[in-house]
Amino acid sequence: MMELDGKIAVITGSDSGIGQATAEAFAKAGADICVTYHTDEHGAGETLRRVEAAGRRGFLMRADITDPASVFAMFKRTVEHLGTPDILVANAGDAMGESKPVAELDNETLAHIITIDLLGPVYCAREFLKLRKAAGGRGRIVFIGSVAGHLPTPDSAPYGMAKAGVNSLTRSLSVEVAADKINVNCIAPGLIATPMTARVLNDPEKRAKSMESIPWHRPGEAHEIAGLALFLASDAADYVTGQTLVMDGGLTMHWGGA
Per-residue pLDDT tens listing for the chain (258 residues): 789 999 999 999 999 999 999 999 999 999 999 999 999 999 999 999 999 999 999 999 999 999 999 999 999 999 999 999 999 999 998 866 567 899 999 999 999 999 999 999 999 999 999 999 999 999 999 999 999 999 987 888 999 999 999 999 999 999 999 999 999 999 999 999 988 888 888 988 889 888 988 999 999 999 999 999 999 999 999 999 999 999 999 999 876 544
Cα separation, 46 vs 257, whole angstroms: 41
Helix (H, G, I), strand (E, B) or coil at 61: strand
Q: Domain-by-domain residue ranges, the chain?
A: 8-257
pLDDT value, residue 201: 86
Phi (first) and psi of residue 34, to 5 degrees = -85, 110
DSSP 191: S
Please give the Cα distance from 169 to 185 (Å, whole number). 9
Which residues are known to be catalytic? 159
Fold of the domain spanning 8-257: Rossmann fold (3.40.50)
pLDDT at 255: 62
Distance (Å, whole) CA 178 – CA 180: 5
Q: What is the per-residue pLDDT across 140-152, written as a single tens digit (0 to 9) for each?
A: 999 999 999 999 8
The pLDDT, as a whole number, for residue 97 is: 58
Four-residue CA torsion sign, 116, 117, 118, 121: positive
Angle at 106 between CA 256 and CA 206, to 5 degrees: 35
